Chains A and B, each alone.
Chain A
């Protein structure tokens, strides 16, 4: 699905004082719908991406104290991710995120869905990592895309802007 005029754009902030990345993005949907898209494994697998990679959910219990694990695959290469659902509320999720390739590194992610009314919702996504080096390397690596694979695609994308 391609929609050319996007009314909303993700904004990003790398906190200068704490190893935190914050992303904000508005959606034409209710907080409940966003919660469902984040907690229903079939829906989540359809959008978590990246483009061109197939996401396979291996383990999923989106409840407080639950856990998750999935593998993103392309061209026979697998990138695994896992974590815990620390707290799943009505309009927020606190979870951990680890790339299987760096099992000692964990990010604490807080997702908050702010009701803007009129069927719109603002997503506040915050990732706290355990060091500035970790945060900045994470930013630099485009970790979700896979350390080695994604750069060409991202380069093409950056040129298109």
Chain B
């Protein structure tokens, strides 16, 4: 996926109303009218939000059906989950290195290998 599409996804989801709409669509397809109901805003305003979500590839609208329900593209979300998993893996890698450092610290603290050090010197 191109970086600019990723940026569009993140910008699209930066807006709380749009995140809300996405959460609503996760439960099932809905028309622009249905999406507008809880917000007390105009259909035009909701249409604008839908357009931003559609441009980011998060939402599609069927062209032919008269109601033109909005549909959430779930695979985009699995992609986001993958990004988060990568970040987690990176943190896990870091903490595995920390495990090793802690194990060495503990070995150095064993009474058998304890040695006097001048203050702060750890060479």
Q: Given A1, A23, A34, A123, which contacts B88 in the complex, CB threshold below 8 Å?
A: A23
Which residues, 56 to 99 on B, are CB-close (under 8 Å) to A? Answer: 80, 82-99
Fill in one digit per residue for B23-48: 1 if any A CB lies within 8 Å of its CB, else 0.
00000000000000000000000000
Question: Is the CB–CB distance between B93 and A50 below 8 Å?
Answer: yes
Bound together, the chains give a CA A51 to CA B100 distance in angstroms of 13
Question: Is the CB–CB distance between B95 and A10 below 8 Å?
Answer: yes
Q: Given B7, B19, B90, B100, which contacts A154 in the complex, CB threshold below 8 Å?
A: B90
**Among the interface residues A8, A11, A21, A154, which one has the most CB atoms of the partner chain B within 10 A?**
A154
Fill in one digit per residue for A28-46: 1 if any B CB lies within 8 Å of its CB, else 0.
1100011011001011001
Question: Is the CB–CB distance between A157 and B84 below 8 Å?
Answer: no
Q: Given A29, A46, A51, which contacts B93 in the complex, CB threshold below 8 Å?
A: A51
Chain B residue at minimal CB-CB distance from A150 = B90
Contacts of B100 in A (CB 8 A): 1, 3, 47
Interface residues on A, range: 35 or more
Chain B residue at minimal CB-CB distance from A40 = B122
Question: Is the CB–CB distance between A142 and B105 below 8 Å?
Answer: no
A40 CB to nearest B CB, Å: 8
Whether A58 sits at the interface, judged by CB under 8 Å, is no
Contacts of B93 in A (CB 8 A): 49-51, 157
Question: Is the CB–CB distance between B87 and A139 below 8 Å?
Answer: yes
Question: Is the CB–CB distance between B97 and A157 below 8 Å?
Answer: no
Not counting A10-B91, A27-B98, A46-B97, a sample of 13 additional A-B residue pairs whose C-beta atoms are within 8 angstroms of each other reads A1-B100, A3-B99, A10-B88, A23-B88, A28-B99, A33-B106, A40-B122, A43-B101, A132-B10, A133-B11, A136-B10, A137-B7, A144-B94
Identify 14 residue pairs between A and B in the complex whose beta-carbon atoms are under 8 Å apart, listed by A's number: A10-B92, A12-B87, A25-B95, A27-B98, A27-B102, A28-B102, A47-B98, A50-B94, A123-B95, A132-B10, A133-B14, A136-B14, A158-B82, A158-B86
Q: Chain A residues in contact with chain B, CB under 8 A?
A: 1, 3, 6, 8-12, 14, 16, 21, 23, 25, 27-29, 33-34, 36-37, 40, 42-43, 46-51, 123, 125, 131-133, 136-137, 139-140, 142, 144-145, 150, 154, 157-158, 161
